Amino acid sequence: MKKLGNLLAVLLIVAFIPACATTNSIADKAPAATALDRIVQKGELTIGTAASMPPYNMTTREGKVIGYEIDMANMMANAMGVKLNIKTMDFDQLLPALEAGRIDVAISSITITGKRNLKVAFVGPYDVTGKGLLTKEKTIAEVKDPEQINNPDTTLVALRGSTSALFVKKLIPKATLVTVDDYQKAVEMVIQDKANAMIADYAACLVSVLQYKDAGLVAAVAPLTREPLGIALPPNDSQIVNWTQNFLGSLKGTGQLRALKKRWIEDSSWIDDLEQ
């Protein structure tokens, strides 16, 4: 009877070991449940940016991506204990890439809007800007009411998929709107007199004036705009939203956001390093 008991015990142990091994193996290979889990497991935070929207994100002559948002993204990666992977793409592809899971976060001077927020989550704002006009024409630079340039003879250029393009469609619908992939193409159209003005974030207009000093460009504030910029995050993932809220709150509380603004927006010493 004792031998039978020992035999049953051995059989139970032998039967249990493979079950444990199989269970652990499955657990080890189980997909990460949240965006933060995935980021930590792969040891990498992948952000999407246009890399062409100064002073928030831009590319140097050497091909390095720099700017206000890039510094902020590096801080995010450091806080997570992972490395930063930057994926550059056209502005209008950023939110679709986020929705499809090809990037973890989109940070690229993205204005928080109700329509965008229906598809992705936002945390912010980390800065508030407004629309600007970049032009060579004094009459356009002095515009106070959109109706003054609301005619088919006025050609305006804006970034494809941007709130700037939407601004033109809603407030200056009679003007001829041309959309392009990046600010550099838009600025070149203004310089070459192919467009009367570029509509963009006011900070980007100011940078363009400084970057192309001999082109006769003027930056002016467009009326009736307020642009809160936010970090775009995957939908239906409360943990990464909560983490990012706490992260951004820490940056504000410690004065690091203010330092970023001073370095990239109030100081323009980096402009000579940009592509032209």
Percent of the chain exceeding pLDDT 70 equals 87
| Proportion of the chain above pLDDT 90, given as a percent | 72
- The structural domains of the chain, with segments of one domain joined by +, span 35-128+228-271, 131-221
Looking up tokens 């592509």 gives 275
Amino acid identity, position 45: L
Q: Is the pLDDT of residue 102 over 90?
A: yes
Q: How far is residue 107 CA from its own chain's centroid?
A: 2
CATH superfamily, with its number, for domain 35-128+228-271: Periplasmic binding protein-like II (3.40.190.10)
> What is the reported pLDDT for 179?
97
The chain-wide mean pLDDT, for the chain, equals 87
Same fold, 35-128+228-271 and 131-221: yes
Residue range 131-221, CATH number: 3.40.190.10
The predicted structure's pLDDT at residue 258: 95
Alpha carbons 276 and 262: distance in angstroms, whole number? 24
Cross-sheet strand order for the sheet of 197-201 = 176-180, 155-159, 197-201, 131-135, 218-221
Q: Supply the pLDDT for residue 161.
A: 94
Average pLDDT over residues 71-81: 98
> In this model, does residue 8 exceed pLDDT 80?
no
Amino acid in the structure at residue 106? A
Stated pTM of the model:
0.81
Closest CA to 66 of 208, 272, 206: 272
CA pair distance 48, 91, nearest whole angstrom: 9
Strand stretches in the chain, DSSP E? 44-49, 58-59, 65-66, 83-88, 105-106, 121-129, 131-135, 155-159, 176-180, 197-201, 218-221, 227-233
Q: Give the integer Cα–Cα distance in Å for 214 and 217.
A: 8
